[in-house]
Amino acid sequence: MSINSEESPLLPLDPHEQVYKRFSPWQKRVILAQVSLSGLLPLFTSGTFVPAIPKISKDLSVSPAAVSLAVSISICGAAVGSLVFATYSRYYGRRPVYLFGLPFFCIGSYCISTATDVRLLLVYRFFQAFGVSSGMSVGGAVIGDVFKLEERGRAMGIFLAMSLLGPAIAPFVGGAFTRYASWRALQAFLCGCGILLLLVMYRWFPETSHPGTRGVDKELPETEQRRFKFVWLNPLSGLYLLRGPTLTLVMLTSYTILLTDYVLLIPLAYTFGPRYNITNEALIGACFIPAGLGNMIGAPLAGYLSDVGVVKWRAKRGGVWYPEDRLRTTLFGAAVCVPGSILVVGLTLKFVPGTIGLVICLVSLFVNGIGVDLVLSPSSAYLVDVMHSRSAETMAACQGSRALILAASVSLIIPSINTLGVLATNTISALLAWVGFGMIWACIKYGDRMRAWIDVGYSTADNN
């Protein structure tokens, strides 16, 4: 037998390496595809809703501002759901929470399609967002389960790129459904998508948690684990992790960066539409596509660059791992692409009419999409790196906290535009993005000191 045979290695594999060999490369791709689809669905759902706001407000005889509250409500639902599902995924595992949550999404979508009152619409939007909220927080944890440190950035980039295919196509799909069918038909379609994903994950998605790390593994013998036993867990316990200064700063940075996306896209029908005489809902939806394309390009690019940065800086330090090296990839996006693009849109809407103005705005949306993911993709991978054993809870705590702040902020966007104007609103958002740049820069420069202030269970190179 050859001494190079993979079946008979000369030396046993390191247990730390072995845990990442449980799945073949093909299985890892299948797992990544499934969690990416689960991440696509919430963003696709929210993206299809925004172009339909004027039509929904007309059909339900309420103001657009009242219907836009559904965006804030859905953000709250996603925040609550991500905390709940992340907490229980650590106890029961990743697979059960996906299979439990998706039915909520399906039921919520169906009920929205039959809603005749705006209050019921808001309630159903909460349940719809709650049910599919595991897509981002638990999806990031699954990537941490399956991919080792040096591969994680690329996998996270692919996950975010596929997930952000939703914003790329959702507004056009939502606008086309609204104009040529109805917003109710769109919600019925989303219900069907949820059912299909539930069946796929029931059939092909395995449990990815590292062996022996689930709470149920530690508390029950293997013979009793097949019998479901409900355990009450505090879904807010993950928020305690935000005592870690770097985790809080990364969360706040991602909030300031993501806010620019909402400031640009939520009022788009009321800013781009009247300014450039676009009345067709499908064409309004098509205006969202450049931002989504920027997301799709920026996420894998940022993931790849962050992996390269980790390897490069680790080699420079003689093999010493410094987690914040991954965040260096965020600096250009946070300092230039994001604040610059939103300022350009504000100035263009105010001073540049006609086709030239529209083209400049669409290019700026593309640049903003790339810039947002130059920040979000490495930041998400960083959270998994630095809190590997509690990655789902950390992702949920950061995303949930960010979502709650966003929910409050989003409800102010249209009133701010009505009161202060588009340029002033965009300028405020750009200034907040620069504050976010300052916070991420502080993490990179002083991360080791900040982690030493309060140890919330940070990972090391040996257990990551």
Encoded tokens for 243: 């005592």
Segment 42-57 shows an average pLDDT of: 84
Contact in structure between 289 and 173 (CB atoms under 8 Å): no
* Structural domains in the chain (count): 1
CATH number (domain holding residue 267) = 1.20.1250.20
Residue 347 falls inside a structural domain: yes
Q: CA-to-CA distance for 149 and 155, rounded, in angstroms?
A: 10
Q: In the predicted model, what is the mean pLDDT of the chain?
A: 86
Is pLDDT at 4 greater than 70 in this prediction? no
Segment 223-251 shows an average pLDDT of: 83
* pLDDT recorded at residue 7: 41
Residue 230 falls inside a structural domain: no
Q: CA-to-CA distance for 379 and 326, rounded, in angstroms?
A: 8
pTM for the whole structure: 0.78
Q: How confident is the model at residue 1 (pLDDT cuts 50, 70, 90)?
A: very low
Segment 312-338 shows an average pLDDT of: 93
Going 69 to 433 to 332 to 272, the CA torsion angle's sign is: positive
* pLDDT recorded at residue 390: 84
Q: CA-to-CA distance for 103 and 339, rounded, in angstroms?
A: 39
Share of the chain above pLDDT 70, in %: 94
* pLDDT recorded at residue 364: 95
Segment 14-32 shows an average pLDDT of: 83
Q: How confident is the model at residue 280 (pLDDT cuts 50, 70, 90)?
A: confident
DSSP assignment of 395-450: HHHHHHHHHHHHHHHHHHHHHHHHHH-HHHHHHHHHHHHHHHHHHHHHHHHHHHHH
- Point out the least confidently predicted range of 4-18, 105-119, 422-436: 4-18
In 131-288, DSSP assigns E strands to: none
Residue 14 falls inside a structural domain: no
Segment 381-406 shows an average pLDDT of: 85
Residue 294, SS3 per DSSP: helix
Residue 263: count other Cβ atoms within 10 Å of its Cβ: 28
CA distances from 356 to 345, 348, 359 (A): 12, 9, 5
Q: What pLDDT, in 10s, does the model give residues 437-459?
A: 999 999 999 999 999 998 888 88
Is pLDDT at 169 greater than 80 in this prediction? no
Residue 169 falls inside a structural domain: yes
348 or 73, which is more confident: 348
- Point out the least confidently predicted range of 118-127, 232-241, 257-266, 436-445: 232-241
Domain limits at 393? 23-208+235-463
Residue 223 falls inside a structural domain: no
- Point out the least confidently predicted range of 24-33, 75-84, 190-199, 426-435: 75-84
Residue 17 falls inside a structural domain: no
Segment 411-433 shows an average pLDDT of: 92
Residue 129 falls inside a structural domain: yes
